Amino acid sequence: MRVFVDPDLCMGCGVCESIAPDIFELGDELHAKVILDPIPEKYRYVVEEAIAECPEVAIQITEE
């Protein structure tokens, strides 16, 4: 599984990082970035939670 954060939509609020810190990171960026790629299936639940909680709907799962 792969995850994409759209930098044009992401406002860098940090919700995804707080839910799934092994997957997302803000760092010095203005938007979140994915730090684990590909993402193991065991993280699906937390990734789906981060997607659901993202206020800008900036995160998408791609099955590759």
Number of domains making up the chain: 1
**Could you tell me which residue, 60 or 28, shows the higher pLDDT?**
60
Question: Is 50 strand, coil or helix?
Answer: helix
CATH code: domain of residue 38: 3.30.70.20
**Global confidence as pTM:** 0.90
User: Measured in Å, how far apart are the chain's first and last C-alpha atoms?
Assistant: 6
Neighbouring C-beta atoms of residue 57, cutoff 10 Å: 11
Tokens of 62: 């791609």
- Domain with 22, as residue range(s), is 2-62
Question: Is 20 strand, coil or helix?
Answer: coil
Residue bearing tokens 């406002």: 11
pLDDT in tens, 11-54: 999 999 999 999 999 977 789 999 999 999 999 999 999 999 99
Q: Can you say whether the dihedral through the CA atoms of 47, 49, 54, 57 is positive or negative?
A: positive
